[in-house]
A and B are shown apart, each in its own frame.
Chain A
Amino acid sequence: MEVLGISLALLVLFVGFGLLIGILFGFFGMGGSFLVTPALLVMGYPSRVAVGSGLAFVFGTSVIATLKHRDLGQVDYKLGVLMIAGTTAGIEVGKEIVLHLEELGLAGSIISVTYVFLLGGIGVFVTYEALKGGGGGGVDHDAADADLDDADIPDIAKKIQSYRVPPMMTLRGGISVSLWMILGVAFATGLLSGFLGVGGGFIRMPALFYLIGVPVPIAVGTDLFEIVFSGGIGSFLYAMDGGVDLSIVLPLLAGSALGARVGSAATSIVDEDEIKVYFGLMLLGGSIAVAVREIGNVYGIPIFDTVSLVLILGSALMVSGAVVYSSITALREEPTSASPAGD
């Protein structure tokens, strides 16, 4: 039996995979193309279809997750628009650097090494900060608009906020930051995103928190808002070349729509330091997976591709399972019956 031109078994697999990714996407504001594209490549889809369909899926999931975060009051639209402007410029410069490195024949190796170290570095940093606790904390998830305590703001963000170059922008959480600092951070994250050829959620979300001082739930919601635009434009460009396959995207989206609601709601239940530990561990898993795949490519060992995929899917399954488990545990500890997870 076929549905949308694919077998029923594959359809169920895509819906289940979408559910898993949706939880991560709604919870962290990242993890879409990072997971989908390698999986589609290993399943034998051409790279153009894998990347294009991955982007279209990320676009659809980010629309759903952003709407959910908007309901929870966790999207800073002003910051989102500024980030889009700075990131777009950064992506263009990043692409130019890649083209220059390609001419020198160095692009592949430099990008791979940068990707592994960046993923691993951010993973170690975020995990360390979360395990350290205290200073790297955040705000009450139910009070996203409440002013931040000084102790809640990371030291780097305090330094960046101390540069009072006009015009100053007041953001959600009562943060006041120079417009130029926001654009600078957005440009830097865009540069890395364009250089590495990735959506950049795993760079932007921690950057919003650690560099600008935006509370984690708002960082996730605002990051998703930006992904709606970057994912939409990217998938449109790939669709022009026939790179978007709806028989992949539609079932994935059916699963992720449910997962994104669960993941988004979980950000309001689960302790913020736990969020950061999971995020860090997932990045570390991704870093190891990319390193394994690159080693396989260099030494011509095809099985390493599969090992890499298993590592990525395994860490995603473990982390999404931990998110659901922590949410259930937190709900059981709550004395009142009202909860945003009811959505």
Chain B
Amino acid sequence: MIDVATLPPAAQAGALIGIVLLEAIVLYVVYGLAGQAVGQQIIKRVKKN
């Protein structure tokens, strides 16, 4: 588990929300790039089947 217990409550809360926000943006970018790389291939395959 990620431990931010040493920080004051407001900083802990900010750090936790920051981690969630960071993960959301990273996942958005990573999945976006993956979609660009293989998205059209998947769609072509779906249309063929």
Contacts and interface: CB of A to CB of B under 8 A. Distances in A.
Contact of B13 (A236, A246, A249, A337): A236
B38 to A, nearest CB: 9
Interface of B: 1-2, 9-10, 12-14, 16-17, 19-21, 23-25, 27-28, 31-32, 35-36, 39-40, 42-44, 46-47
Chain B: interface secondary structure? Answer: helix
A4 B2 contact: yes
Interface stretch (A170-178, A194-202, A252-260, A279-287): A252-260
B1 A337 contact: no
Nearest to B10: A240
A59 B1 contact: no
A59 B42 CA distance: 29
B48 to A, nearest CB: 9
Interface string A237-256: 10111101111011001100
Contact of B24 (A5, A61, A241, A258): A61
The secondary-structure label for the interface of chain A is helix
Interface string A318-343: 00000000001001101001010111
Interface of A: 4-5, 56-57, 59-61, 63-64, 67-68, 232, 235-237, 239-242, 244-247, 249-250, 253-254, 257-258, 261, 328, 331-332, 334, 337, 339, 341-343
B20 A56 contact: yes
Given A240-B10, A261-B35, A334 B1 contact: no
Contacts of A64: 24, 27-28
Given A337-B47, A343-B36, A254 B19 contact: no
Contacts of A63: 21, 24-25, 28
